[in-house]
Amino acid sequence: MKQFSTVTLLLLILLTASFVFGETYARNETLYAGGGMWAPPSNWNPITPWNAVTGTVGLIYETLYLYDPITDNMKPWLAQEGLWISDNVFRLKLRKGLTWSDGTPLTAKDVAFTFELAKKHPEIYYSSMWNWLADVKVIDDLTLDFHFSDPRYQEWRYNLYQIPILPEHVWSKKSKDEILTGANEPPIGSGPYLFETYSQDRMVYLRNDNWWATKLLGLKPAPKRIVYLRVLSNNVALGMILKGELDISNFFLPGIPRLKQAYGNIHTWYDGPPYMLPANTAFLFVNTVKKPLDNPELRKAMAYAINPKEIAEKVFENQVEVSNPLGFLNIPAWMNVYPEDVVRKYGFRYDPAEARRILDAGGFKDVDGDGFREAPDGSKMHFDIIVPYGWTDWMESIKIIAKNLQAVGINAEAKFPDYSKYTEDLYGGKFDLAINNFNSTVSSTVWTLYNWLFNPDIQEYMTNGNFGRYQNSELTQLIVELSHARTVDEARETVAKIAEIFLMEIPYIPLWYNGMWFQASTQVWKNWPSAKNPYAIPCTWNGWWQMGGVLTLTGITSK
C-alpha cells in the first residue's frame, strides 16, 4: 500500500495537471465531479444505462421513486403514491404538474409506454418483468394499474426506483436500432439538469430551472452547472481534490486517513474508520465445475484460511469493513432478514487451524512433501487467483489471499491479466478463483444479491453473475420464492433456508465491503452529507443518483 508523507503530499499538489478551469463558469455555481466516467461521453440512452454517461438516469431521466438505503425508505418521486389494491394489482398515481424538459406534460401514458416498450423489445434490460407482469392499464392522466400474473413483490419494489421513465412523444418515433443502441443526443428528460455540452474529458450539465420538483417540492439543486470530469488516475484525482479542482470524488483514493489529518478540507462520510459507507461486497468466486474446486470441503477450508481483516488493514487502511459470512451489506433492508441463528451454527471465520483440520479430514494431504497438498485422488493442485491489472487495491488483496491459502498448504498464485482478458476468462468460466463485485451492490432487497450470485440461467458465457456456475435446484427455487415475499417475516424465513445451503456449500466466499468511495472538498461547497447529517448518499455513479446523488445536489451550498 502506498503511504503518503508530507513531502509526497506537497509534490502531488504541485505536479498534478490543472486541466479543470478551461471554461468561464462561475466557480461558486459550478460543481466539478469525478469517479463515474471512464470513457469519453458518447451515449445518453437510458435504455442502456451501463453504457450511458453517468447522470443520464437521475439528472436527465427520472424514476418513479427514489430509494434511501440508510433508512430503507422508498421516497415517491415522479409518483405521488403507489399501493397494492389487491394481491396482484398495484395502483400508481403520479404527481400533478410533472413536465418534460421541452414543456410537454408527463402523464400516465408515458409510464405505461416505458414499461410496454420492454414488452415490444425483449432486448431491453427490464423486459423479463413481462414474465410476471400481465398488463398495464391507464386509468386517467395521473393513474395507472399494473396487473401481475405472478406478483414478485421484492423485484417490483426494486424496479420502482430503477426504471427511468421515457417521454412517449419522443421515443415512440424512434426506430428499434435508435431505441436499443442509439446515442440519444440530445436527451429530453424530466430531471433537474439538461444536456449542455461535452468534450473528450468532460460532460457538462446545465440546471433545469423549470424542473417540476422546484415548484412541487421546493427543491432546487445548488450548482448551476455540473462538470463531470473523466479522470483516469486516482493520483490525479487526489491532487485535484487537494487543490479544490474537484469538489466531489467517488474514486478509491489511497492515503485518505492521514490526508484528512494533514489537509483540513477533505470531507468523508465518517470522520474515522471505515470513513466510507459500504457499496457492495467483494466475493472470491470459485469455479465450482472444476475439480477439485467442486468439492465443498475444499471451498470451506479456503473460507477459513483467508484473513479479510488483514486486507482491510493493509490494503485499504481501514477504509473498508470485513464482510459477514453471507456477504450481506450492513443496511436495514438486508440486515432485517439476516439469519443470526443459521450463521451462528454454520458460519465461518478466519481460523487457519480449522482450515487445516477440514483439509486433513477431506483427504487433502501433502503426499510428496513439497509443502503443498494434493487432491484426495493424488493429483496436484494449483489455483490462479485473477483480478484486472491496474486495479491496485484488488491486486494487493489477492497477494494476501494467495499467501493465506499457501499457509494452509493450498498452492495458489495471484495473477493480473488485463481487463479484457479478465472479463473474458470470468464470463467464459476459464478461471480458478476470481475477485468480483459487479452486482453485489446496495439495494432494497437481498434478492438482488442472491439472483446475481446464483443466476440459474447457466450459460457457456455468463455476463450476469454466477461466474463459478454453481447449480442447486433447491436454491434456485428458494430465490424465486424470495422474490415473492411480501413481508419481512416471509423474506426472513426464506433467506434462512438459502443461507443454510450457502454456508454448507460455500460456493463463493464473501470477503469485504467495497466502500461507497466519497471524498469531498469543502473549499467551494459545504453541507456535504455525512453520518452526522445523513440527508442523502453522496454518490455520482450510474445507478446511485436515485439513491442519494440528486438529493445531495439540493442539500449542498456554496461558500
496 belongs to a structural domain: yes
254 belongs to a structural domain: yes
327 belongs to a structural domain: yes
Domain at 488, CATH number:
3.10.105.10
* Strand (E) or helix (H) holding 277: strand 277-286
Q: What is the 3-state secondary structure (H, E, C) of 50-82?
A: CCCCCCCECCCECECEEEECCCCEEEECCEEEE
Torsion of CA 475, 476, 482, 484, to 10 degrees: -150
C-alpha cell at 105: 406534460
Portion of the chain with pLDDT greater than 90, in percent: 90
Residue with cell 467517488: 250
Q: Global pTM?
A: 0.93
Residue that terminates a domain, selected from 171, 203, 229: 171
How many whole angstroms separate alpha carbon 149 and alpha carbon 506?
A: 35
Question: Phi and psi dihedrals of 19, rounded to 5?
Answer: -115, 15
**Mean pLDDT across 117-132:** 96
Determine how many CB atoms are found less than 10 A away from the CB of residue 423.
Answer: 16
- Residues 108 and 87 reside in one and the same domain: yes
559 or 297, greater pLDDT? 297
- Residues 330 and 404 reside in one and the same domain: yes
- Residues 307 and 376 reside in one and the same domain: yes
pLDDT higher than 60, residue 278: yes
54 belongs to a structural domain: no
Q: What is the 3-state secondary structure (H, E, C) of 144-173?
A: EEEEECCCCHHHHHHHHCCCECCCHHHHCC
DSSP 353-413: HHHHHHHHHTT-B-SSSSSSPBPTTS-B--EEEE--TT-HHHHHHHHHHHHHHHHTT--EE
521 belongs to a structural domain: yes
Q: What is the pLDDT of residue 257?
A: 87
Residue 497, classed as helix, strand or coil, is: helix
pLDDT digits (tens, 9 = 90+) for 341-394: 999 999 999 999 999 999 999 999 999 999 999 999 999 999 999 999 988 899
| Residue pair 67/547 in contact by the 8 Å Cβ criterion | yes
Domain at 145, CATH number:
3.90.76.10
Query: For residue 4, which of 198, 258, 221 has the smallest C-alpha distance?
Result: 258
Q: What is the pLDDT of residue 460?
A: 79
pLDDT higher than 70, residue 126: yes
- Residues 288 and 164 reside in one and the same domain: no
pLDDT digits (tens, 9 = 90+) for 426-480: 999 999 999 999 999 999 999 999 999 998 787 877 778 999 999 999 999 999 9
Percentages helix, strand, coil for the chain, rounded to the nearest 5? 30, 20, 45
How many whole angstroms separate alpha carbon 119 and alpha carbon 189?
A: 22
Residue that terminates a domain, selected from 115, 140, 171: 171
- Residues 213 and 146 reside in one and the same domain: no
Residue with cell 414488452: 119
- Residues 328 and 459 reside in one and the same domain: yes
pLDDT digits (tens, 9 = 90+) for 490-526: 999 999 999 999 999 999 999 999 999 999 999 999 9
How many whole angstroms separate alpha carbon 137 and alpha carbon 85?
A: 14
Contacts of 369 (CB under 8 A, 6+ apart): none
**Mean pLDDT across 169-185:** 98
Q: How confident is the model at residue 13 (pLDDT cuts 50, 70, 90)?
A: low
How many whole angstroms separate alpha carbon 160 and alpha carbon 163?
A: 6
pLDDT higher than 50, residue 3: no
Q: What is the pLDDT of residue 14?
A: 47
Residue 324, classed as helix, strand or coil, is: coil
Average pLDDT value for the chain: 95
- Residues 152 and 230 reside in one and the same domain: no
- Residues 507 and 442 reside in one and the same domain: yes
- Residues 345 and 425 reside in one and the same domain: yes
- Residues 269 and 295 reside in one and the same domain: no
Q: How confident is the model at residue 402 (pLDDT cuts 50, 70, 90)?
A: very high
Instruction: Give how many domains the chain has, as a whole number.
Output: 3
Q: How confident is the model at residue 9 (pLDDT cuts 50, 70, 90)?
A: low
Structural domain including 91 reads: 65-171
How many whole angstroms separate alpha carbon 520 and alpha carbon 249?
A: 6
pLDDT higher than 90, residue 22: no
The order of strands in the sheet holding 133-140 is: 79-86, 89-94, 143-148, 133-140
Query: Helices then strands (H, E): number in the chain?
Result: 19, 21
59 belongs to a structural domain: no
- Residues 311 and 424 reside in one and the same domain: yes
- Residues 444 and 379 reside in one and the same domain: yes
448 belongs to a structural domain: yes
465 belongs to a structural domain: yes
How many whole angstroms separate alpha carbon 56 and alpha carbon 189?
A: 9
Domain at 209, CATH number:
3.40.190.10
